[in-house]
Chains A and B, each alone.
Chain A
Amino acid sequence: MKKILAMILALCMLATLCACASQTPSSSAASSSSTASSSSAASSSSAASSSSSAAASSEKQHQNVVVDCYIIATEWGDAFSEIESRFEKKYPWVDIQGIARGSDSTEYLTAAIASKTLPDLICVDNDELHRTMVDDGLMEDFNQFECSKQIPQAYKDAFTYKNILMAETYGAAFSCMFYNMQILNKAGWTAAPTNWEELIQCCKDVKEKTGVAPFTVAAGKTTTSWMLFELLIANVCGDELGAGVYEEAFKKGTFEFNKYPGIVEKFNELQPYILTGSSNATEDDVTAYMTDGQAAMCLAGNWNGKQILDGIAECTGDAKLAAASLPCFNDKGKTAWISATAETGMGVTKDDKRTDDEKEAIDLFVNFFWDPENYKVIQNTAGNVPVVPMPAGAVVLADQMVPLVPLMGKAPFVTMGFNLWSSEFKDAANRDLQDCIAGLANIQDAVNDMTTLVKTSHKE
C-alpha cells in the first residue's frame, strides 16, 4: 500500500512538471489568453467566432490570428481595451490579447527571451535591455510601418539605436514647476518666478517669511533627481553648445561636466532651500508634500501634473492657487531650456515564423493604434503630450498645463537623462546626486566623479 501511494505521488509530480514545461507557440497563446488581464478577452474571442461569417465574406480570406501585446501601463489600461475592441470590430479575424499587464518590464522580458515566448508587441524604453534586444536581432525596425512617418524626428531619434527604430513613443514628457501660490502670496510673490535669480529670491522669501520649505523634488526617483541636474546643465551651457551637442557628447562619453562651474554654483544656491527628505522622496511623496503644504514649489514631470495640481488645490481650497510653468532655471534675459523626452513606446518583436496573416494583423493594428481618432483615447486618459497631429479640441490636459504645451514645443530642450545613461552611470551618478541634494556630499566632487564615470562606463 505504501509503495503504491509513493508511486502515485511520484507520477503525479512528474505529470505536473511535464504539463508546466510544455510550451508551444499555440499553447502559449492559448495560456496567455486564459490569463490575460484584458477585459476584452472574452468579448474579443466571441466577436472573433461570431464574425467568422463576416470574415468569410471579406475581400481576402484570413486565418484567425492572435496578436499578443505586452503593455505595462495600468493607468490607461481601460483606454487600451477600448482601442482593442474598436480594432477587433473592424478586423474580426484578429484577436488582440493584452498580456502580463502591470508586470515589471525587465523581469518579464528577460524571462520571455529565455523561454523564447516574446509577445508580438512590447513596451519599449530606450534602455540597455532593449538595446541588447536590438543587438540580438529581436526587434523589428519600426520604420517599416506607415504610422512612423507622422512622428516628429526628435521622438524617432530618441528610439533609434544602430539605425533601427525600435519603437514608437506613446507621448512626450517634459519637466515642469508647480507652485502653491497661497504660500508664495504670503511670501510676497503674486506670480511664479520667471528666471533663476527670481527663483532663488523666491525661495529665500518663502523660507524667511513663511517658514515653509521652498522647494522639493522627487529625488528618490532617478528620472527626477537627474532632472534637477540636467536643467542646470542645459541652462548653463545650452546656449553655448546648441541643441543636441550635450546629448551626443554624453553618449560618446566625452561630456565634461566639470568644465562648467556654473552648474556647481547654481546647485549650491538652490540646495539649502530643498525640503529635507527630498533625496529619498518618491513622486507620491512629493504629491503628499504639496498636498500637505510642506513645500511651496516642486520640480516634477508633466506626467505628475494632474496629481500635484489637484493636491495643491486641495491644500489651498482653491484650484486657482495651483500654478504650473516650465522650469525657470535660465539666467535673466536668456531663454529657458527645459528637459523633454519621448515616453515609453510600443515596439514589434522579430519572429521569422510569423505567417503572412500575422504580419498583416500586426501592421494593421500598429497603424490603427496611432491613427489620431484612436490614439486620442490613450492621450485623453494618460494626459500626456500627443506625438501625432490631433484634431482641434481632442487633447485633454489639466487646465494649468494646457498653455504649457505650445511653449514646450517652442522651448529649446535637452533629452532627459534616462535616454542617455548607461546602467552603471545611472546607478552611481544618481546616488551621488541624491547625496548632494541631501547635503551629505559635495556637488563639485560629484561632478568630477561624473566626468570620469561617463568616460569609463558609457556605451552608445
Chain B
Amino acid sequence: MRLKTPGHRSSRERQRLITGIFFILPSAVLVTMFILIPVIRVFYYSFTDWNGISPHKNFVGLQNYANLTTMNGFGTMMTATLLFAVGMTILTIVISFVVAMALDKKGKGRISRGFLRSAWFFPTLLSGTVVGILWRTMYDYNNGVINKIIAQFGGTPVNWLETVGLTNFAIIVGATWARIGICVVIFMAGLQGIPQELYEAAAIDGATERQRRKFITIPLMAPSITINMLATSIAAYKAYELPYLISNGRPGETTLMLSQRIVFFGFTTHEYGRSSALAVCLIVIITIFSLIQLIVMRRREDIT
C-alpha cells in the first residue's frame, strides 16, 4: 500500500475535484456576473460622480460619503428604515411561528390544514408590486375595504395613510402579510424535524403542553428562528415596492426608506455616485445587523 504524502491528491480525488468544479461552474459564473461584479462596480461608482448615462466618470474620492451625513432627512430616513425592518421582522417571526405551530397539528383536519397551508403561502407568490397596490387600495380612506368593514361594525374610519406613526404600522402589516408564508414553511420544516420521542418523554414526566412548547419546541426551533430572522430582516432592509406604492415616504418623510432614496438618486436625479454610496451604506448596515443577529442567535442555539 502506497503511503499518502501530505497535500498530495490521488488521481481519483483529483478527478472528483474537477467534476465538482464543473458542476458548480455554471452557478459560479452566474453569481459572479450578476452579483459579484455589479456589487464591485457599485463600490467603484460610489467614488465617482457618474450620471448613469455619460461615458465619463470623474473620481471624487469620499465626497459622496461625506454628503450623506449632510443630506436632508438622512436621520428620518434611517429611523424609518430601522423601524420598518425591526417591526416587520418581529411581527413576521411571531405570527409565522404561531401559524406554523397551529398548522403542524397531526391527526384530524388534514384537508382543511392543507387548504390553510396553501392559503397562508399564497401571498408569497404575489409580486411586491401587486401586494403594494393591493394594500394601498385596502387602506384607502374612502373606498378601502378595511374602513368599509370598520364602518359596518359601527366604528370610525381610520386614516391609515395620512397619520404619522400609523402609516409605518400599515406598511409593516402589508409587508408581513407577504412574508409570512415563506417563514411558515421554514418553521414547519423545523417542527417536523423535532423527534417525537422528546415530547413523549416529557409527557411521561408530567410536562404540560405549555412546558413542552417552552422547553422543547422553542429551543429546538432556534436554528429555524435564526434563518427566518436573518432572511426576513435582510428582505426588510431592501424592501422598495411596498413602502413606495403604499405611502411613497409620506406623511412627511416618516416612511421614506433608504432603498427608495437609492432608486431616487440613481434613476431620477441621475446621481449614480450618490446612489451607489447609499447602496454601500445599506450593505454595511445589513452586514452589521445580520452579524449581530447571527452571533446572538448562534449563542442561543449553542446554549440549547
Contact = CB atoms under 8 A, between A and B. Distances in A.
A237 interface: no
Interface of B: 15, 18-19, 22-23, 25-26, 29-30, 33, 51-54, 72, 136, 140-143, 159, 161-162, 164, 247-253, 264, 267-270
A110 B267 contact: yes
The size class of the interface chain A forms with chain B is: 35 or more
Contact of A280 (B15, B30, B140, B269): B140
Nearest to A135: B54
Contacts of B248: 220, 431
Nearest to B246: A280
B51 A132 contact: yes
The 5 closest A-B pairs by CB, nearest first: A277-B141, A6-B22, A13-B26, A423-B269, A438-B162
B142 A110 contact: no
A280 B253 CA distance: 14
A356 interface: no
B141 A110 contact: no
A292 B143 contact: yes
A6 B270 contact: no
Given A13-B26, A110-B52, A276 B269 contact: no
B157 to A, nearest CB: 8
Given A6-B22, A9-B23, A132-B51, A440 B269 contact: no
Contacts of A440: 162, 164, 251-252
B133 to A, nearest CB: 10
A132 B264 contact: no
Contacts of A360: none
27 contacts: A3-B15, A3-B19, A9-B22, A9-B23, A9-B26, A10-B22, A10-B26, A17-B33, A106-B267, A135-B54, A136-B54, A276-B141, A276-B142, A277-B142, A277-B162, A279-B250, A280-B136, A285-B143, A289-B142, A424-B269, A427-B264, A427-B268, A428-B72, A431-B253, A440-B162, A440-B251, A440-B252
Nearest to A106: B267
Contacts of A281: 140
B250 A434 contact: yes
Contacts of A275: 142
Contacts of A7: 22
A3 B268 CA distance: 49
B252 A431 contact: yes
A9 B25 CA distance: 9
B250 A2 contact: no
B162 A280 contact: yes
A78 interface: no
Contacts of A132: 51, 53-54, 270
Given A133-B53, A277-B141, A13 B29 contact: yes
Nearest to A213: B142
A129 interface: yes
Contacts of B161: 277, 280
A431 B249 CA distance: 8
Contacts of A40: none
Contact of B270 (A10, A129, A288, A441): A129
Given A17-B29, A128-B269, A431-B253, A276 B23 contact: no
Nearest to A275: B142
A219 B250 CA distance: 12
B247 A280 contact: yes
A423 B268 contact: yes
B250 A280 contact: yes
Contacts of B54: 132, 135-136
B132 to A, nearest CB: 13
B159 A276 contact: yes
A363 interface: no
B19 A285 contact: no
A280 to B, nearest CB: 5
A447 B223 CA distance: 54
A283 to B, nearest CB: 14
A294 B142 contact: yes
A13 B31 CA distance: 13
Nearest to B162: A438
Contacts of B159: 276-277
* Listed residue (B25, B248, B250) with the most chain A CB atoms within 10 angstroms of its CB: B250
* Listed residue (A107, A135, A289, A427) with the most chain B CB atoms within 10 angstroms of its CB: A427
Interface string A276-304: 11011100010011001010000000000
Contacts of B141: 276-277, 280
* Listed residue (A128, A129, A277, A435) with the most chain B CB atoms within 10 angstroms of its CB: A277
Contact of A136 (B30, B53, B140, B143): B53
A113 interface: yes
Given A3-B18, A133-B53, A280-B140, A107 B267 contact: yes
A441 B252 contact: yes
Nearest to B18: A3
